[in-house]
Amino acid sequence: MSSDASDAPGPRGAAGPAARTGTGYRAVFAVREFRAVFAAHVLSLLGNVVAQLALAVLVLRETGSPLLTALAFAIGLLPYALGGTLLAPLADRFPARRTLVGCDLLCAVCVAAMAVPGVPTAALLALRALTALVAPLFTGVRAASLGEVLHGDSFVLGRSLLRLVAQSGQIAGFAAGGLLLAAVGPRTALAATAAGFAASAAVLRFGTRERRPPARERTAGGAGALPADRRVRALLGLCWVPPVFMVVPEALAAPYARQIGTGPAGTGLLLAAMPLGAVAGEAAAGALLGPAARERLVLPAAVLLPLPLVAFAWRPALVPALAALVLTGLCAVYALGLDRWYLDAVPRELRGRAMTVMSAGLMTTQGLGMAAGGAAAEWAPPHAVVAGAGLLGTVCAAAAAWFVRMCPVSRIE
């Protein structure tokens, strides 16, 4: 997980610590505090992935119920909306490092409790829900504090690196988690995960600076300004709308693989294709393009993101389907420039809250997109649902992009 590093971010284009040490991703890693944030992020990410997998295996072994096993996965997403709503006001109330370390320690305690033999299934699910409940607070505070650690374009590249790790870490984490479970069993894997969360807390505690929270009266007084600002609403819409449709082929990967006769191997490839495109696109844009070029990509890439999914109307074989999903993943590069616009749109004292809302809304809308895709597939074949998501998503993304274009570039005061 993460934290901060200078007293106040400079204006657009201001040189921060990273800007003085070089350019691109190398400059970001030159900042000592970001290295600590990055290491903690890797530890907590792997912990979440392994805990999710180990809990599902444990629940299946204890109950034999596919429904409860699926719930063990889903419960990692379901509390996001509640956590984002209830905990967002806390994001700017306390020093960032203290909040991040506290979230990590709470996760360590919850996962350690899951590893205790004899814990009832209901308690296991409740403990998992509690770790998910604090996730949007943690993610929002980390994103806001990154604006203190990194200035200007380095903030955008830092956020990009954390996203790249999240995309790659899910694939590697599930693979490594499967090997770990085969070697030591789910309870031991959960105990190791708890140790990982504790290590993340230690890295943040000793590798980052503590900073005073923003002025409390400004934070409380500006609470209503965040959703009321048209520019912020437009940017949140652009952040949330394209992913709603982007996740539909992931939700229907297994049914579509069965439809075209590729089985479990095809399911795995279909699930990996979009993250692969997202990692390749974001890494290339972050390394090769400057800030202005990345910002020019935001609106066209957001609109084009769902469009390749329309190709599923022709029920493509595995290779063309993978190509369409990789193209969709490549368009996720729009998030790079969008991050900078969003950071510029909110004042420092509301950043924690703003980032918490963004994170919680993104996870919630993706969950809704998956649920809607699954429900539609009860009435229509998977390829038609994915194609419909591509067509409708392109229209909705275009509307969201138009709304951003129509809103003035301003900042909440």
Q: What is the pLDDT of residue 107?
A: 92
Angstrom distance (rounded) from CA 9 to CA 14:
8
Where are the chain's structural domains?
25-213, 222-413
Where is 281: in which H helix or E strand?
Answer: helix 263-288
Which fold does the domain 25-213 belong to in CATH? Growth Hormone; Chain: A; (1.20.1250)
Query: Reduced to 3 states, what is the DSSP secondary structure of residue 150?
Result: coil
Closest CA to 111 of 36, 42, 2, 188: 188
Angstrom distance (rounded) from CA 317 to CA 356:
40
Q: Which two tokens stand for residue 356?
A: 């918490």
In this chain, the answer to whether the domains covering 25-213 and 222-413 adopt an identical fold is yes
Q: Which two tokens stand for residue 216?
A: 């409390």
Q: What is the pLDDT of residue 23?
A: 57
For residue 306, what is the DSSP state? Answer: T
How many CB atoms within 10 Å of residue 188? 14
Question: Is the CB of residue 315 less than 8 Å from the CB of residue 259?
Answer: yes
- Report CA-CA distances (Å) from 329 to 30, 278, 348: 29, 4, 31
Angstrom distance (rounded) from CA 412 to CA 357:
16
Q: What is the pLDDT of residue 70?
A: 57
The position carrying tokens 């419909």 is 388
With 0.85 as the threshold, say if the pTM is over it.
Answer: no
Query: Reduced to 3 states, what is the DSSP secondary structure of residue 209?
Result: strand
The CATH architecture assigned to 222-413 reads: Up-down Bundle (1.20)
Residue-wise pLDDT tens digits, 85-131: 667 667 667 788 888 999 999 999 999 999 898 888 889 888 988 88
The list of the chain residues with pLDDT below 70 reads: 1-23, 65-74, 77-81, 83-86, 88-89, 91-92, 169-179, 213-228, 264, 408-413
Q: What is the pLDDT of residue 292?
A: 87
